[in-house]
Structure 1
């Protein structure tokens, strides 16, 4: 029997790609641009924070953040994001996607600015306040994950839904790239106007007081793109699937989508019988949910967790790996502003050559290959390239082999984004019922951030040299990095195995994937009438 669904939802599924699709991509995508910028820009300035607030005049080396402080600065936003994904994911199903969407954006704007205005000139005060505001920044960012994915999936048509959601997520890559460009521009301007000697020449002057503005400007810039999209977010109507299936107001859903699609829609008969059927009212913690969606939810949560242990470890600590192989000069040979520039240059090059193309390859091929194939391929290739740089690590850290290392390292990012980093975001927005969609996506995303926290805190310590006496005696650094990279390769392989729990959503409607159309079949079909006349 052919699939049956509410007519207004069928009209959305069959709608041709038009302007409102691209408007929704831009509005939701700018949220992800801000998310990525705010989460990853801190890795560009942690070295500078160490020079500014942990400088020891008696030391022969520049100041650096103690491991526990570095872990807190890098990881506290991830903790906030985890909490925000769970809370706002649940709230999005209770109050509606649109109402909660504005709240998350306001939090992101205010906390981005507040993070850069951290109080005091002493290390303890500055680090405490930046961690406080970055936690709440992460809390707002967390809400953007389930809401943006759910809104885009519920607005999209059936044929290009995966590509549209992937395009929203691809703005994360643009945000990472923008963070690098902003850091390059700001450090260049300050280096030109406030030149400082290298650390080796004059330790006391190598980080001028004006450098304190650099990290603040970089961090606060993230508020700008979020502020620019607030008005347009508030103008978006609530999604038809929430209004019809959760709020149970089919008349309003039909009116809203008539304006969005620019067609005349008429509400069908017996629609109320469908949305009020008790077979659609099982809750999250029920045997029926476990029977229908338990294994897919396990697949979504486990693969996202495993991916982010590896992905965030790589992203947040690129600078440590680049330093270990000698691509970034030793801190003692440059001043603080130069160091920001060198770190930003390295990370921007990786993002431009591998991270960003990976996202857009997913956009281009997801409706051809499908979610399952892309995710399986991505995990497999990440495993291969991680092992390829980890086992012969002593070979790669030699100066003449650095280019080869960077190519191999970049390919792990490419296949992360043309792979599970994109698909793990897309699938949870497609396979769960409308009344639980945002909640389940929030749960899946929260396990991602749990993996990111493990990566941020765990890799920081695992990557330290195992024997400091050998390092101080002149042995090559990176013994800890090598073992950590091997561990990340194993994690990617396990992620590949858990991918087999995830269904393929390609070419199916959201109601067919969630099982909501099964009830519709038993009631019979009275389709909505829609025409091409303009409203």
Structure 2
């Protein structure tokens, strides 16, 4: 027998799209804008850090970060993000979404500024301080994942909920794009003001002293959008689903949502009390009941996000090598350090503009039409196809006349990652778990993704140590096993496609229906889908 549904939740489910929806998207989305800027901007300045801090006097080559330092600088924020996702995901269910939401933003603001102010008496001191602050920056970023997804899902109506959550995540694309634009602007300004000779002319002079300001400004700029968002984030009321279903304060939930929806709502305090006494919906995360109802769902969200991030973050690390191979970025000996930052930023901005950003917004446009399952399956499928399409005839693509074709196909893997699992793995965990465990389970799923990102980052570092003379003969860096790495990523994407079958479809359902909270026994009877109807999965 179905449980009673609160009027305030029904009102949210059927509410027409209005200003408060878009306000919530912008407020939550600016957090993701900042997240992406902070996580990916480091890749724009790692070569510059090597030139500044690891140039050896009299060396015929520019300075480069040692492998251990490079992996620490780029990977430590991912480790912090994983920890933050687990901690703040749990805290969001214990203390409430709003109370924790401001903490994550403050950490991001302070650590963005501190990263750019990393000083030390030695190179080791500077790198140690940078890694320390980037870990805590990642910790704050990690909290934004479960909280933003949960808040948006609990504010949205059921008809367009997928698009709203995906739109929050799509702000990540603009954050990546902004990182490239800021780096372009700063490096162009410094290149004009402090023109240095090409490295081949004067090895020591190709990195002007003022270049040390560039990476600091780029990293510190991440505090700006976070600071601009803080006031509005603190003005958001707590979500009605947390207030009513978790905190059991029906009156406050009705008052908050009456202001948001501009309607009169009955607090229904007696109904909340009856729901609170329903033992069928009071199981914990580590209970047998949770395992029975949602165990496979959690396995599905964790494995698909884990596999997706192995591929997605590895692809991002491949970019510099692809750019070099097609001469978007000339050899270091032909340009000064500042100009190198400019060219790296230009190349990554073009990729973001042409494939990454459009992919996100295709998901926003189609997720409530096609459904989460179809988009995720399609994305993994095409990522697999394009990876193998690049890897199997690899030597064909390395010929000079075919290199642009390689880049076009490579760009399609970014497009279908974002018009696919990179968006849906964020959306679904915010919909299929009970309100009292929603933020925690999203945090666990997201942390699994960051574990995959760490595997991808360090796996790529390992692959970069494998010498491959055949690649060098075709103009690729000898240390990168590109073909073998692409094959591995193709297999990873194929596995992601298989594990997608563990993830239920939530299109058109209320959060309570998707999580099974509207059923006394927590299980809907299985129904065979009719022709033309959505696939039905027991929850």
Mapped to 2, the partners of 1:321 and 1:415 lie a distance apart of: 19
Residues 189, 121 of structure 1: alpha-carbon distance in 2 compared, 3 angstrom cutoff = farther
Residues 475, 514 of structure 1: alpha-carbon distance in 2 compared, 3 angstrom cutoff = closer
Of stretches 35-44 and 121-130 in structure 1, the one that deviates more from structure 2 is 121-130
Instruction: State the secondary structure of the residue aligned to 1:55.
Output: coil
Mapped to 2, the partners of 1:391 and 1:83 lie a distance apart of: 37
Mapped to 2, the partners of 1:240 and 1:344 lie a distance apart of: 43
Q: What is the number of equivalent residue pairs in this alignment?
A: 521
Q: Which runs of 5+ in 1 are unaligned?
A: 523-535
| CA shift for structure 1 position 315 | 1.5
Tell me if structure 1 keeps the 8 A contact 2:280–2:521.
no
Tell me if structure 1 keeps the 8 A contact 2:308–2:422.
yes
Tell me if structure 1 keeps the 8 A contact 2:294–2:433.
yes
Give the corresponding residue for 1:96. 96
Describe the superposition over 1:456-480 as per-residue Cα deviations: whole angstroms up to 9, x where unpaired.
1111221344257x78899753551
Instruction: State the secondary structure of the residue aligned to 2:265.
Output: strand
Describe the superposition over 1:118-165 as per-residue Cα deviations: whole angstroms up to 9, x where unpaired.
012632111100000000000000000000000000000010000000
Mapped to 2, the partners of 1:121 and 1:319 lie a distance apart of: 31
Tell me if structure 2 keeps the 8 A contact 1:274–1:520.
no
Give the corresponding residue for 2:120. 120
Tell me if structure 2 keeps the 8 A contact 1:74–1:316.
no
Alignment of 1:267-286 (within 5 A): 267-268=267-268, 269-286=270-287
Alignment of 1:67-466 (within 5 A): 67-120=67-120, 122-268=122-268, 269-466=270-467
Residues 249, 480 of structure 1: alpha-carbon distance in 2 compared, 3 angstrom cutoff = same
Mapped to 2, the partners of 1:521 and 1:459 lie a distance apart of: 43
Mapped to 2, the partners of 1:374 and 1:352 lie a distance apart of: 21
Describe the superposition over 1:466-502 as per-residue Cα deviations: whole angstroms up to 9, x where unpaired.
257x788997535512211111111001000000000
Of stretches 275-284 and 370-379 in structure 1, the one that deviates more from structure 2 is 275-284
Residues 521, 348 of structure 1: alpha-carbon distance in 2 compared, 3 angstrom cutoff = closer
Give the corresponding residue for 1:530. none
Mapped to 1, the partners of 2:64 and 2:333 lie a distance apart of: 12
Tell me if structure 2 keeps the 8 A contact 1:465–1:477.
no
Mapped to 2, the partners of 1:114 and 1:521 lie a distance apart of: 48
Describe the superposition over 1:410-430 as per-residue Cα deviations: whole angstroms up to 9, x where unpaired.
000000000000000000000
Mapped to 2, the partners of 1:475 and 1:152 lie a distance apart of: 47
Mapped to 1, the partners of 2:465 and 2:94 lie a distance apart of: 45
Tell me if structure 2 keeps the 8 A contact 1:115–1:130.
yes
Mapped to 2, the partners of 1:3 and 1:382 lie a distance apart of: 42
Tell me if structure 1 keeps the 8 A contact 2:12–2:157.
yes
Of stretches 81-90 and 318-327 in structure 1, the one that deviates more from structure 2 is 318-327
| CA shift for structure 1 position 395 | 2.4
Tell me if structure 1 keeps the 8 A contact 2:293–2:522.
no
Q: Which runs of 5+ in 2 are unaligned?
A: 524-539
Residues 471, 398 of structure 1: alpha-carbon distance in 2 compared, 3 angstrom cutoff = closer
Cα RMSD for the two superposed structures: 1.7
Give the corresponding residue for 1:36. 36
| CA shift for structure 1 position 25 | 0.2
| CA shift for structure 1 position 276 | 2.7
Tell me if structure 1 keeps the 8 A contact 2:240–2:253.
yes
Moved over 4 A (4+): 1-4, 470-476
Mapped to 1, the partners of 2:249 and 2:2 lie a distance apart of: 25
Instruction: State the secondary structure of the residue aligned to 2:303.
Output: helix
Residues 471, 511 of structure 1: alpha-carbon distance in 2 compared, 3 angstrom cutoff = closer
Residues 474, 506 of structure 1: alpha-carbon distance in 2 compared, 3 angstrom cutoff = closer
Tell me if structure 2 keeps the 8 A contact 1:5–1:520.
no
Instruction: State the secondary structure of the residue aligned to 2:518.
Output: helix
Give the corresponding residue for 1:532. none
Tell me if structure 1 keeps the 8 A contact 2:253–2:267.
no
